[in-house]
Amino acid sequence: MRNQNIPKKILHWYDNNKRVLPWRKQVSKKKTEYFTLVSEFMLQQTQVKTVIPYFNNFINKIPNLKKLANVKETRLMKCWEGLGYYSRARNLKKTAKKIISEFNNNLPSTIEELKTLPGIGDYTSRAIMAIVFNKPIIPLDGNVERILKRVFYLKNEKETSKESLIKKKFFFGKSNRSSDYAQAIMEIGALVCKPANPLCFECPISKNCRSFKKNDFEITSKNKFNKIKYFEANIYQNQNKYLLIKNSKFKFLNNLLIFPMKEVEKNKFNTSLNKKINIKMSNMDMKIILNKKNKLIKIKNSYLVDKKNIKDLILPSFTKKIFNSVSNYL
């Protein structure tokens, strides 16, 4: 099924339709390495359109690897605030320090070495190899997977396994523009071969696509349901000030300020007569009981925070959402 013209078709489409993204700017090799490193960390678990303003702000505040390695954690977290998955930011700083100390300030140029860096796994290492070092590698992200499933009309679980899809990558062939080519394939998946309502008549490889010929574009994928978790949050309030604690309980919000809260059973949530709110996170749906407490108490690692000052604090997005809900509910 491989066609010699496929790389040519895909790159022609890319040259005429690619998005203008800040990490794709024509800059020095050193800046390309840094821009790619930062963007790939941000793009883990986060969509491109969300990342763009955060990337621009991050680069303005922390413009190179040395500054990243030496940045204070409070400033780093402030630059990352709102993106979530804060462990990515901490791993990014650890990676910067390791690149400087162990790789002479140069981004490692092999998959094996890249995977020794904190926060870099199989996909990110391959993306860096392709984009930065122009290696003939097609990273297998969700966009590439979707193209392969449609091109080969793959439906059952065995056919759509990661191992099976890796073997199908031969379809794309190779190009001496490996960096552009890897990005071009992912770009087609993002802009044309979309999960719903694909734009097949704009696709440069539709004639090579079995799903297009069958007029059947439904993608078989594993169902990914957000977990539903139930919490009870205590809102200790004194006039306009609220008590927050430094989190040590929930791993995904390590050391960030949250309302005192604990996970509860579904039955307790359903039977509670107190006010409740729902907050959708990228990895879970949080259903939270709000317990208003008029009397402040002493809690270890707690802070009194004035609501008007929350924009100046490093807070997880869901803490801010609770703040916004408090005035409406309590």
In a domain, 221, yes or no: no
Same domain, 156 and 235: no
Same domain, 11 and 123: yes
- Domain count for the chain, please give it: 2
55: domain CATH number is 1.10.340.30
Same domain, 125 and 147: yes
Same domain, 190 and 234: no
Same domain, 209 and 238: no
pTM beyond 0.75: the answer is yes
Query: Average pLDDT for residues 272-278, to the nearest whole number?
Result: 87
How far from the centroid of its chain's Cα atoms is residue 206's Cα?
29
Length of the chain: 330
pLDDT greater at residue 286 or residue 96 = 96
Same domain, 43 and 189: yes
Pairing state between β 241-246 and 275-280 = unpaired
Tokens matching residue 329 = 């509910």
* Residue 38 domain boundaries: 6-214
Helix ranges (H only) for 121-219 are 122-133, 142-151, 162-168, 178-191, 210-214
Sign of CA dihedral 176, 182, 187, 193: positive
Q: Which of 190, 214, 238 is the last residue of a domain?
A: 214
Q: Which helix (H) or strand (E) holds 73?
A: helix 73-80
Same domain, 196 and 148: yes
pLDDT in tens, 243-266: 888 887 766 666 788 889 888 999
Same domain, 26 and 84: yes
Tell me how far apart the alpha carbons of residues 202 and 330 are, in angstroms, rounded to a whole number: 52
Same domain, 172 and 26: yes
Mean pLDDT score of the chain: 89
The catalytic residue positions are 40
Q: Which of 156, 182, 214 is the last residue of a domain?
A: 214
DSSP letters, 14-31, are HHHH----GGGS---HHH
Q: Which of 214, 241, 260 is the last residue of a domain?
A: 214
pLDDT in tens, 188-245: 999 999 999 999 999 999 999 999 999 998 876 555 556 898 999 998 888 778 888 8
In a domain, 70, yes or no: yes
